[in-house]
Structure 1
Amino acid sequence: MRVEEQRFWFSTAESTLLPWALAAAHWSGLDVHVQEADVGPVQVQGKKSVEVMVDLFGESIRDIRHYWLKRYQLDGMDVVVSKTGFTNVGGFEIYLEKASQHADRLWETVYEAGQQHGMRVTGPVHINRMEAGILSYDADMTLDTNPFEVAFHYPWLEREIDQETPFIGQPALQQIRDQGVDRKLVGVEIAGEPLGSYTDGSMPEAFPVHYNAQQVGLVSSACYSPRLEKNIGFAMVPTELADNGTTIQVETRHGRESATVVDKPFLT
């Protein structure tokens, strides 16, 4: 997030971000100052998130475009509100400055405002993010994957890879593009009993994928979608098995089940 002309925040759950940023600044020779900000985020997500945020910040909250941000003061606290989140139903993130002093007060203020709208406290709703095709780092994408394996609707990848301004990883991505990849992350619909919500202990590890009696890949995330009334997930498979309609076998907690390769996202 570009919070000022020459001030940026990188917000992620990945704990190695700070050393990565320090290393990137050092080896790039950039004249920048990198530090962990005293900032605490809280998300307000879901179909009623706009109403909650209007109660907190006023009607101007409706004008924030997706992936844009705006500064506010809330009960004397300086916050940055961005229209972002880990779901496909819309929502916001509130970033509190001086979080070490005011985090409890922000939490209580947001929670109180949400009660008339039926707000509940939860972690990331993985069912929503899977339905929307949103990938989770350390599950669907890791240090062992690359964008050409996991990306499926990013036209900028091909368009920007040869840009004149260099960026970290550019030569490697150009090499991968030229050589091609031998596996792809695809959407799958999995038969059998409902798989659960992913964070309820139903999927402690990836599910093995089999084809012709051999393990050929892994389902990295899977859940039961109540809206679709079926099990859905993401599977890393060889490119020859990545076409829609391909039938594979997935070893779930209920046993080996048939699965079909389909388009993702599952819902838009």
Structure 2
Amino acid sequence: DTVTENERIRDELWGVVYGIWDHIKNSGAFDADSLTLDWVGAIPGKREYRRFVGDHTLTQQDLLSQRTFPDTVAFGGWSIDLHPVEGVYAETAGAQQRYTDGTYDIPFRSLYSADVANLLFAGRNISASHVAFGSTRVMATCATQGQAAGTAAHLAARHGFTPRELGTDHVAMLQQTLLREDAPLIGVRAHDGADLAQRARISASSELVRLDTTPWATADTFALDRDAALVVPVDPVLGSVAFRTVADHDTD
């Protein structure tokens, strides 16, 4: 119990750390007999703690299906990363991952309380299932939630809304404010008449038309002997991308 047994957990973890260190230093198998251990942290880092219940509880299915939410205010993309409850004593694999096909939405309804009228939350306590939490917990994803919750708190205080009223009746205001702050709202268009960038025109002095003109390619082919990725803008000006492959034998 990470709430009531924090000190017991710390002592147990210290025992594990020092036991492993004793083996490393004194077993003779690691050439470490003249090394010393300088420091071990005194506060256990909690992966999972209390989570609150919002108007929507984000689930594994929401993530894996990349469900689109009309009140999206943040996004994630980390794998659903689950660890065995036995921790270091587990005899199973140390982690299991499930991957989405890309990013997923985090709705504002998961960032405010279902029964406390003025409570917002962000980070590792949002309204998410245990499995969905395996992805939403990472720091960059928590940061997008924090920006959304902080912006929502400002708007709620300024206009006298509750978080639920803001998310139900004024979600466009929240989303457009976040976009003006350069928040990453995937799939949400900015509609700000004062935004000069929307009327700007961009031109280029040259353009790339063949992959083999890039420094990391050979004269006529690029060998797929390792993982490779190419990021290109497909909306709105690029109509299609074509790849020609050459293989010496049947392959995937």
TM-score (norm 1): 0.20
More strand by share: 1
The two structures have a TM-score, normalised by structure 2, of 0.20
Instruction: Name whichever structure is richer in helix by fraction.
Output: 2
